Structure 1
Amino acid sequence: MNTPESSPSVDAMNDQSQSGPAPPKRIRLSLACNQCRKRKVRCDAQTPKCRNCVLRGDNCETSDPRRPDGPAVRKWATKDGMFPGEQRANRASSISERSASGSMMSIQFDPAMSNASEATQQADQQQPSPGGKHVTWVTRAYMENARNQDTPSGDQVHDSPDVVVNVDESSHRVKYMGGSSLQCLCVFVDLYLGRKGQPPMSNRFRWGMQHVEEFNLPLSFHLPDLPPIPTLEPAIRAFFERIYPLFPVVEQATLMTDIVRLTELQSASVSGLQGAISHSDVATLAIIYSVISIGNDEHERGITDFGSSFLKGAYTLVGHLLSAPYLGSVQALLILAIALRGRGKEGQAWHLLGQAIRISHSLGLHRHISSQTGGDLPMGSSPGYRMNHELHSRLWWSCYALEKLMELETGRPPAISDNDCDQPLPRIDSQGTPDYFGMWASLARVLGQISEHLYRRKASSSYMLMQETSRLDQALLDWAKALPEGMKPGHEVFVDYDEQQPSYHQHIASFLSLHYYQAQITLFRASLIFPEKSYANEVKKHGTKLPHSLRLLQNQNICIGAARSIIKQVLELADHDIQSIIFTTTQPFLAAIVLALNILKNPQKRMGRSDMELVITGTEYTRDHYQRIGQHEEFIRAASELPEKLTAALEGITSPRERPSVTSQDIRTPPSAEASMSPGLMSMGIDPFSQAEAVFDPFQDLPLDEFWSMIGGDFVINGGNDQNTFF
């Protein structure tokens, strides 16, 4: 293969770029849908439903006349007549499978690539841009790993692994996930599994979409009456002891006063609470319902029917909250979003949180409002505004922290920009206990910067990527260093027998640690998915200009170590029966995927056996949690099959030759342990092949920066007699 410098196609490309862009070729569709083929009309092949079928109201299904019983392949063309990421020698595209059963499916597609001017390209380095000439580093890494003679068939190739859209057969049920999401990382696991003939994992995420994104409500619903205050006290106490330190958005004294008032109105009404409240009480009632739901689930350590009834009651009031967009509506929407997220309804939480942020913007919660005379508050402020001024700050930063966390997990663009807000971070008077809210909000700021600088902006070079990685890594280290003892990441969970000292800070400390490790994994993901040698060579090349080049060389090990720490920590929490709605499966499942990817890339490493055990226990924990929250069985099965796929993929990689013993004595594995181990990992012996051969990376020695420039623009690779065009 010719290098980019020696390829004659490069000169041709340069000549073409100097003379201006070539005229667009005629776009040709590869396969029309059944209805358009039947009517003999032109089909635009849009997914999930073509325009003709949308207008006629027909079911848009596509089948191949040459293979009536096989899956259909629908391809959409770019303006050069090719498909995104397609090679002319061997056409392969991402697909959208359509079956008569109406099953849901997952589509990967590439965002539109426009011919940007040089000024636009320079602007892309400074600000996010959905278009532009440069593709993201996630796509570059995937293409670098995929471009070899062992590339899987077209139905397993993803044009852009940093953009995933889950859809079903309708034209409206579409959900997007971005490059920092767990699903996009699974695409890289699919790449290695596909080379060993294993089916992909990422396309089965579609089965989890309905549970996450939807919340079923009856068409007519009666608001539940408030129970007696003694019955509510355990739930309210659990909320303020265990959730309020992270989300201090409502005061306990105010809440109890409102509960007493509404209970009295309820008792005086023949029809109960339904006929007693007025429109002005809606926000207050939604807050109370949501607090009861969260607190009861927190107190009972699981999802309860009692909590579900009040959660539904709060959700039925959402329309009323939006019709009166004031401070109470922001509080109610945010607490309701927290409740939904605790039940695995992250998609619903994202939508309600967005509404809360928009209302917050309209109220000016994102701004530090001061008077023109130098006072703390504007002139003419009412007593209520003065009393709630600190609440405004806490409410805004609670919205901010939750959105930045969910932005990192989903890869979706945020509603909050740091450039638009100057609200100072308040310090919570916690009477001698640590300032948990300040720690959490400070970490959330770093999470937001990771999303913005590494996933929403398109770095123009590998140097910019590594420079930003180093800067954000230092920000994470500074955050961890500033934490008090007992709160730093890596702390051990302990049994707390002191009844005078509440044990809630253990689950909060673990919450912060898990998201710190999640931030490290997301930050260092490039070192994990790029071939090791090319990444290391690139760091060394820029070593004198990078402030922490030695730590950059350790990024992959830090990423893997963070994954191990996550699984160990959640298992410790489970062993000590420390549960909370603030914990989700995102972190342990992410850790299992990272370790699985490391095992597939480096099956000969001695830590593979222990990592496989962590993958097994991590997926078991994930499976149990998904079952508790009622996730789709097909999605749970997909998550549970990860260890089996690893075992099948690793069969035959290792050889029966014995590896030199690590001690002077033989170390034997008990038969019971061998039964649950991968055969490839049990043997612990390998052929003398290089790491590049083990993971099928023939481009391991090619400098990463050459791939960067080669894939980032309109570069054409000379591949024999044919030309393989990338974007």
Structure 2
Amino acid sequence: MADDSAEQPILKRKRISVACNSCRAKKSKCDGKRPVCGRCAGYDYHCSWGNEATHRDASCTPPLTSSEAGNAASPQEIFHRCEKAIRSLAIDVPPEGRAEINQSLSRIQAALFHDSSPGVTTISPSSITVSSPALIQRIQSPRYVGEVSDIHFFNLVRQTAAPRGGDGGAQDDTGEVDNYDIDAPTTMEYLQNPISDMPERSQVHRFLGIYFSTIHVAYPFVEEAPFMDKLKDLQDGNPAPDLTHSWLSLLYALLALGAYYDSFRPDSRPDGSAHQKLFQRSLLLSRHDMLERSLTQVSALLAQCFYLLATSEIDRCWAYLGLAVRLAQSIGLHADIQDHGSSQPISERPQIRSRVWYSLYVLDRLTALQLGRPPAISDHDCHVPIPSRIDGLDPDVNDGEVQEISKEGRAGEYFVRLIEFSSIIGRVLRECYHPRRDIAARLQSTKNCDLLLLTWKQKLPRYLRFDLGHAFEKSITLKRQRNMLAIKFHHLRTLIYRPYLFHTSPEKNLLTQDQSCRSREYGKICATEAQSIASLMHNVTDTMDIVMNYPWWQMISCLVCAGSIMVMAGALIKQDAGDDTTVVALEEDVETCMAVLKALASNSHGANLAWDMMKNIRARSQLFNPAKG
């Protein structure tokens, strides 16, 4: 026994010169292994290594290898932490003191970023490797303040008192303070290589190709050609000098959308979470506490909204959209560029600003309709000219078809018509679903809104008329746009008449004979329009057909709406001992909606939940008793 114990090695604690930040904070033993120590690896802690001085002499610390140095906190990161702490402590400091603090921080920042270490470079036309970090600027557009604002009036007085080139002299007032609103620091941000998490080049182009051939043809808030040129420069190692967090966030959001659409292909199953990772990257680049006040930032938030809508995170989309609308208003997208009121020049073209604003407007109306909530944008607060017909949105139209299609803009006409359609949605929300209107007023509002909608359809150009034939047409884009308009039209008309499908209010017994007849007729129109939605799915070939050729971000809502209406209509007809053939037709169309949802459910949790909802409501409809409600 003594011999055995003598052979046992004597275990001694290994002394190390520096412990990791996590072990140091927890006062735990650290084995000093880098880049991840044993304790952090075992407990799945985040292991980081700072360059703070230790109890021993700094010379005892072994030099960091290149891989270890990448994990060390940069001077820029340390500066930002200190800056945030200083600003939080300076809240109660008088304005004079805060101004001095801001100046001191600016001087430190300028010196720090000017004398950056060789491993930290600004984004410039130089080669970028995967491991190289970069400094990316934050751009702020001119702030918009309306005529009622005290800041607006102050600047008006300032300009009137000393007009440029007048008797007061053409003094340069660029250094004068014209706003007391404290702005977020417009510092450069330390960021690891912006393309380190990007998919392979072939995948990037496939994902973006999907985006620009689907969502873009309906919501053209991104200029395709300049965007792709900027991406090519970035991939070639020659990024543009104006590369920002917001542009990178927009890029990753578009990639996430394309990857999600692509995940419905049968051969894309292995990595279904790719789109989620890309979206998380977009969110990291658009932290809500550090948003840029810029058009690109609004576009990035808008793209994130479409991703959330497509993945059935509708409430989250609603919140993000509200943020995007507020940010857009802060840079005056809701106002004509001539009425902006800022002394600083506006760099973006009016057409681009108009496209972004009306994309927000259209999506705002769509989500308000889907959630039954008031829109964030009022028609009376929009003073932006409707964007002109947009060229370049229909690349698959040949020269022969160009002559037949109006020269006003071909596929770009769709966006203009969609804006008009969205204004009708606002009217429907205000008039058809007002909670305190009597039945006579509601009946008249229903008639007026339906007349508006039918007139809108009749005025569509021939190549967008979804109710007419289009033999021998080769344009995929126009086909997709007609499908989108058809779904939207029948869905809205269904909602206009849905209040008359089944009455549960006390007013039911107080209706006149004429009002009762009109209500029953309106209920039949509602069921017919729901069947029209289902009939659009009759010729669908597979899930990719639905995702690519229909408004996928709206399809689950439309199918649930149509399916539930047809279930209710069938139950009411059975209760009244009505026509059995009508009941059979309704049940077949309900089955069509459920079949589509079931097919989509394999790659969409929202579609899976919607299918369960429809299955349950069909079972309940067998026990439905209208007398009990």
> TM-score, normalised on structure 1?
0.51
Q: Which residue of 2 aligns with 1:595?
A: 566
What corresponds to 2:258 in structure 1? 295
CA offsets 1:294-325 (integer angstroms, 9 cap, x no match): 23444564584433322221122231685322
Which residue is equivalent to 1:529? 502
Could you list the runs of 5+ residues in structure 2 that have no partner in the other structure? 1-191, 393-404
State the distance in 2 between where 1:298 and 1:420 align.
35
2:367 to 406, 411, 414: 406
What amino acid does structure 2 have at the position aligned with 1:424? P
* Corresponding residue for residue 718 of structure 1: none
Cα deviation digits, residues 593-647 of structure 1 (max 9, x gap): 001111222202220111112222222322332442124967643432333333x
Q: Tell me the equivalent position of 2:627.
A: 696
On the 8 A contact 1:366/1:421 being kept in 2, the answer is yes
- What is the aligned partner in structure 1 of residue 491 from structure 2? 518
Contact 1:286 1:314 in 2 (8 A): yes
For residues 489 and 623 of structure 1, do their structure 2 counterparts lie closer, same or farther at Cα, with a shift above 3 Å needed? same
Which of 573, 589, 597 is the aligned partner of 2:540?
A: 573
* Alignment partners' CA distance in 2, 1:363 and 1:511: 31
1:540 positional shift? 5.4
Q: What SS class does the counterpart of residue 628 from structure 1 fall into?
A: coil
Pick the structure with more helix per residue. Answer: 2
Matched, 1:437 2:415: yes
Task: Give the whole-Å Cα distance in 2 for the aligned partners of 1:633 and 1:331.
Answer: 30
2:481 alignment partner in structure 1: 508
Q: Assess, with a 3 A threshold, how the Cα gap between structure 1 residues 539 and 230 changes in structure 2: closer, same or farther.
A: farther
Which one of 339, 355, 365 corresponds to residue 323 of structure 2?
355
Which residue of 252, 255, 269 corresponds with 2:224?
252
Matches of residues 438-453 of structure 1 in structure 2 within 5 Å?
A: 438-453=416-431
**Given that residues 623 and 639 in structure 1 are in contact (C-alpha distance below 8 angstroms), is that contact kept between their aligned partners in structure 2?**
no
- TM-superposed CA distance for 1:582, in Å, is 3.5
Partner of 1:621: 596
CA distance 1:328–1:379, shift in 2 (3 Å): closer
Amino acid at match of 1:589: V
Aligned match of 2:134: none
Aligned counterpart in structure 1 of residue 623 of structure 2, from 637, 643, 649: 649
Give the C-alpha shift of residue 284 in structure 1. 0.6
Following superposition, the deviation at residue 410 of structure 1 comes to 0.4
Q: Give the alignment partner of residue 308 of structure 1, picking from 276, 279, 285.
A: 276
| Residue in structure 1 matching 2:450, options 473, 484, 495 | 473
Tell me by how many angstroms 1:441 deviates.
1.5
Instruction: Name the CA distance, whole Å, in 2 between partners of 1:585 and 1:613.
Output: 18
Structure-1 residue corresponding to 2:170 = none
d(CA) in 2 for partners of 1:582 and 1:633?
A: 15
Bigger Cα displacement from structure 2, 519-528 vs 400-409: 519-528
Distance 1:277 1:369, change over 3 A: closer
Q: Distance in 1 between matches of 2:529 and 2:598?
A: 21
Query: Cα distance 1:322–1:502, how it changes in 2: closer, same or farther (>3 A)?
Result: farther
Is the 1:224–1:309 contact (alpha carbons within 8 Å) kept by the matching residues of 2? Answer: no
Residue 615 (structure 2) pairs with residue 637 (structure 1): no
Matches within 5 A, 1:480-559: 480-485=457-462, 487-490=464-467, 501-530=474-503, 538=511, 541=514, 554-559=521-526
Aligned to 2:146: none
How far apart are the structure 1 equivalents of 2:356 and 2:565? 34
Alignment CA distance shift 1:316-1:277 (3 Å) = farther
1:644-702 Cα deviation digits (max 9, x unpaired): 333x427xxxxxxxxxxxxxxxxxxxxxxxxxxxxxxxxxxxxxxxxxxx84379xxxx
Distance across 2 between alignment mates of 1:557 and 1:492: 26
Q: 1:363: Cα distance to partner?
A: 1.2
Partner of 2:277, secondary structure, is helix
Q: Which moved more, 1:396-405 or 1:577-586?
A: 577-586
Residue aligning to 1:54:
none
Higher RCO, 1 vs 2 (CA within 8 Å, ≥6 residues apart): 1
Q: Which amino acid aligns with 1:352?
A: Y
Q: Does the CA contact (< 8 Å) of 2:321 and 2:364 recur in 1?
A: yes
2:246 maps to which of 241, 263, 283: 283
Give the Å deviation of 1:541.
4.9
1:256-267 → structure 2 map (5 Å cutoff)? 256-265=228-237
> Structure 2 CA distance, aligned partners of 1:629 and 1:355?
26
Distance 1:319 1:591, change over 3 A: same
Task: Please report how far the alpha carbon of residue 578 of structure 1 lies from its aligned counterpart in structure 2 after TM superposition.
Answer: 4.1
Deviation at 1:222, TM superposition (A): 9.6
Distance 2:499 2:346 in 1: 52
How far, CA to CA, are the matches of 1:633 and 1:392 in structure 2?
38
* SS in structure 1 at match of 2:436: coil
Secondary structure at the aligned position of 1:641 is classed as helix
**Do 1:223 and 1:313's aligned partners in 2 also have CA atoms closer than 8 Å?**
no
Contact 1:623/1:636 (<8 A) preserved? yes
Residues 450, 493 of structure 2: 8 Å contact kept: yes
The 1:317–1:584 alpha-carbon spacing in structure 2 relative to 1, beyond 3 Å, is farther
**Can you list the C-alpha shifts for 1:451-478, whole angstroms capped at 9, x where unaligned?**
12233x4334222212211111111111
Indicate how the Cα distance of structure 1 residues 590 and 490 shifts in structure 2: closer, same or farther if over 3 A, else same.
farther
Per-residue deviation, 1:383: 6.8
Partner AA of 1:529 in structure 2: F
Q: Encode CA deviations 1:68-122: one digit per residue, 9 max, x unaligned.
A: xxxxxxxxxxxxxxxxxxxxxxxxxxxxxxxxxxxxxxxxxxxxxxxxxxxxxxx
Structure 1 pair 572–533 and aligned structure 2 pair: CA distance change class (3 A): farther
Give the partner amino acid of 2:225. Answer: A
| TM-fit CA distance, 1:542 | 6.9
Alignment of 1:711-726 (within 5 A): none
Given residue 545 of structure 2, which amino acid in structure 1 is its aligned partner?
D
Equivalent-residue separation in structure 2 for 1:521 and 1:322 (angstroms)? 42
Give, as a single letter, the amino acid of the residue that structure 2 aligns with 1:616: E
Alignment partner of 1:331 out of 293, 299, 305:
299
Shift of 1:502: 3.4
Instruction: Give distance in 2, aligned partners of 1:649 and 1:587.
Output: 25
- Residue aligned with 1:554, SS: helix
Stretches of structure 1 that go unaligned for 5 or more consecutive residues are: 1-219, 269-275, 372-376, 544-549, 651-693, 699-727
C-alpha distance in 1 between matches for 2:197 and 2:251: 11
- The residue aligned with 2:110 is none
CA gap 1:250/1:565 in 2 versus in 1, 3 angstroms: same
Contact 2:263 2:603 in 1 (8 A): no
SS in 2 for 1:571: coil
Larger radius of gyration: 2
Amino acid at match of 2:623: A
* Length, aligned pairs only: 408
2:390 is aligned with what amino acid? D
Equivalent residue in structure 2 for 1:586, among 543, 548, 557: 557
Relative distance call for 1:350 and 1:322 in structure 2 (3 A) is farther
Distance 1:416 1:227 in 2: 36
Instruction: Specify the code of the residue in structure 2 equivalent to 1:615.
Output: V
